[in-house]
Structure formats: structure tokens, C-alpha cells
Amino acid sequence: MTLRFAVFTAPLLLAVALSSSLVLADGDDDAPAKPDCPKGQVFDTQSQKCVMQTSSLVPDADRTDYAYRLAKDGRYEEALALLDTLKNPNTAMALNYRGYATRKLGRTDEGIGYYLQSVKLHPQYAQVREYLGEAYVVKGRLDLAQEQLQQIKSICGSTCEEYQDLAEAINDSSKT
């Protein structure tokens, strides 16, 4: 009986573990759990240490994830410099994070351009729609922010973090 239980639950546990890692790999968490590397370095998941960002051994996925971490830590210029090292900078995630960093640097129109490119590549990417909506809030275009909010609702509902964060940004801007 114990063997049957193990045979049944092992694949289920594996599926849960894999789906959890896919969620994290998507880059939608607020701060990827990676150490802070010194300026000019990036975290390499293969070696599990910080290496020079010029190293050709570091894959684009690690560079993109770490650029997001830098941007979330307020290190926007470093994030952009790291994104400049990507072999393929035209992915939905890389464009989203480039938009985020440029928007946070006050270059909102430029950020919107990157967000729109990201949306074109991956229309169901809720995080980019949240950030695009937040950029529209900054520009005073609440009508366009509301459109992004509705798109997010169709992607993940009204209880997902992206929906909640954009709804809060819209609501806060209406109070001023």
C-alpha cells in the first residue's frame, strides 16, 4: 500500500515542483531570489555565483532575470547596461524590463515603446500590461490604463497581483 501511494504521489509532487519553478522562471515575481552581485557582474545559475557580465557563458535568461532584479532594487542604469549585453534583446521579458527601467528613470514615453513591443510579442503577459498601465497613469491617460486593467482581468482575473497593483495605481491617481 505504501508503494502504491509513493508511485501515485511522486509524479504529482514532481508536477507541482516543476510548475512552481516555471512560475519563478517567468520572471513575474517581485524580486528573483538571487544574491546581489557587484556592479558589472551578473548571477550565473549554472555556477551559482556572480560572474563578469561580459562572460559569454552566462545565458540570456540569467542576464534578463538579473536585470529585473537590478531594476527592482533601483539600479536602473545597471539593469539597462546588462540588458544591452543580451544576444537576443527582443524577447517579451527583456523588453518589459527595459521599459520598466527606462520608465523609472523618468523616460516614460521610451518605456511605453518597449512595453508595446513586449505586448506585441506576448499579448497574454500580465506583468507587461500592468507596467504599461502604470506608465499610462504617469502620463495622465487613465483611459488607456483602464484598458490595460481590463486586459489583465481577462488574463488572470481581478485577484492577481498585476490587476491589484494597477487598480491601486489608477485609484491613487484619481485621488490627486
Which sequence spans correspond to the domains of the chain? 27-89, 99-176
8 Å CB contact between 72 and 30: yes
Question: Hey, what's the cell of 123?
Answer: 499579448
What percent of the chain clears pLDDT 90, i.e. is strictly above it?
Answer: 63
Q: Pick 54 or 145 by higher pLDDT.
A: 145
Q: At what angle do helices 76-83 and 60-72 cross, to 10 degrees?
A: 170
Residue 14 confidence (pLDDT) above 50: no
Q: What CA–CA distances, in Å, run from 120 to 81, 117, 125?
A: 23, 5, 10
Question: Hey, what's the cell of 114?
Answer: 518597449
Expressed in angstroms, the distance from the first to the final Cα of the chain is: 64
Of the pLDDT bands very low, low, confident and very high (cuts 50, 70, 90), residue 16 is very low
Q: Specify the pLDDT at position 97.
A: 98
How confident is the model over 55-70, as a mean pLDDT? 89
Express each pLDDT in 92-132 by its tens digit: 999 999 999 999 999 999 999 999 999 999 999 999 999 99
Q: Specify the pLDDT at position 29.
A: 44
Q: Specify the pLDDT at position 134.
A: 98
Q: Which of the 8 DSSP states describes residue 29?
A: S
Q: Specify the pLDDT at position 19.
A: 35
CATH of domain 99-176: 1.25.40.10
Residue 15 confidence (pLDDT) above 70: no
Give, for 44, the enclosing helix (H) or strand (E). strand 41-44
Q: How far apart are CA 97 and CA 114, in angstroms?
A: 9
Burial class, 12, CB count within 10 angstroms (exposed 0-12 / middle 13-18 / buried 19+): exposed
8 Å CB contact between 93 and 77: no
Q: How far apart are CA 41 and CA 39, in angstroms?
A: 6
Q: In whole angstroms, what separates CA 167 from the centre of its chain?
A: 18
Q: What CA–CA distances, in Å, run from 93 to 52, 61, 96?
A: 22, 9, 5
Express each pLDDT in 26-40 by its tens digit: 344 444 455 688 888
